[in-house]
Structure 1
């Protein structure tokens, strides 16, 4: 094995991107895609695996802040662009890059690492647990109606240019971020700009991006960005609406936006991707069976520094528990930690006290945002109770009040 993992050099950017594109089956010649990646790249955080002069592996981190239970915004390294050349699979390249990037994350003082997995089976062995899931749906709008809670008819809707309305929409999005675990604070104007960009490979005959604003008393209370894909057959139109994103600050605005999407002329369905698993849509529709709801994994999370990660969030109930954590890939986390916490704050420190719960860092990552309970992980045999009552108390304390969810990928 002669592969070396090191920081990407500035003059390697084009070759680095070509390797990423090939790893994901994309077209390296697509200039629009290349420019979008370049606009958000933090070059100093990009890694390159080289065999001689050939780039055979890529990875990078983005410097985000992640909302955790309690509303705090915690530094989190968002791992992306992980790829290995097909000529170098199963030769330790991925493991070497994961080792380097986690060491770098620790040195940067970021207590959390997150990722969106192209292949979920890969990352558990590196200590990542599935901390959030997302909801998808295909809503048959010819047979499903949307309920209208009080105030829905008071919401004014108007079409707007997606780019010209971006600043106002981003301000509303920023107000939503502290209210849900898993939400990511945009860290640059480049990330904001990407919210109105659609990859060429995703267009597939759809319209350009459209935007509808929801207003009340002249104030923006919600927005939805979407595309329309027309389709005609002998019996008439069968178009579909593709929802890109939707944010709203109250139930009436939420319902008004969903009702609008369901009523767009010449369409018969809404294709929904990446919504929170507790999205109000599930309760607004008249017939959930006609919506084909489905759930998939979303954020994968691992504590890089267990003590600071657990101390950064708040807990739903008072808790005093000794955790015996196993972390083979980041052994500095292995051992017993005493977590003393409540809804106001937490302290997590090393201890010699007897263990009360035993689990790996992967399960700790899965439960960290409050969407997966320690009790259900214990039912799967992944958390072991060493003191009677410790599991129930910790499971309640770790649980969140809203499902964790990240509004966009990286």
Structure 2
């Protein structure tokens, strides 16, 4: 697999020199300063690509060209935003970047209640606390109808939890849930978030899924003509939040999406940590079933907790059989190579990482610390070498 690294651009505390030292050969990035739905100018893409190549790396994957909420709801100026997206796809293709990762999550991006969860080794990880989330949704945000989305025992636990939380604890959870997402063009406060939820109030899961498929029916032909592989990222976490529709959570969702627009350009990002947060998902089986349509892989692990919470574990030490996933991906690469496919090598990146060693106390983008990801990439590289030597 092609070893790549998520980079948030010139302001990222992790530099391109660090990326090279980690042993990655490719960069996964976007024009984060233009992530409000406007079309990406060719000269801006060329400028970013030149910076990456000057560091001895290649721009392997775009993650992501922002999908405006108007496209997801098919309201307002959604037609103009779709045309902008097509323009950006063509511009990326003209620059020689072959893969675009995107997501179709309503309002939120990846969501965690805790960005600094203490781990036994002394570092910190990302965590989703199911009880704390319920406490915020039902008792702090006071979303209309929220009580109906949780079992009574969860709400009782949430009331007890909230009684132990200080104002600063509540502010931390609110900031993590609705204010902070890396590279988003705006943030919400409580009132603006409620107003945005109202936009989705009457949009069912079936309607939201059809909006995704309608978007794909327009975008996939453009991507195929341009030579771009589209790789949808799953919802993170892969279950309902804030009453919003979620349509990329399970193997059945991936199956439906691939079948909705049959094209070599319509595929998935196999994010093991995102899909893996849903106990229903067998990641090895998914890697095997969807192998021909996997255009990108995010490799990280999670540990489930009894109350529905989860935290991000060591890359090789969680509830996901990472060795089995890597085996299936490498087997698919060999199959593609035998077919002579140009995309035989699947780009992967070590997704997220603990804050450890010298990164403790430094400014880092949560989930994207240098040393934690370097450790994860080294471990995954070892698995790949061992599988390549002994399994084939």
TM range (shorter): under 0.3
TM-score (norm 2): 0.25
Structure with greater Cα Rg: 1
TM-score (norm 1): 0.24
Q: Which has the higher strand share?
A: 1
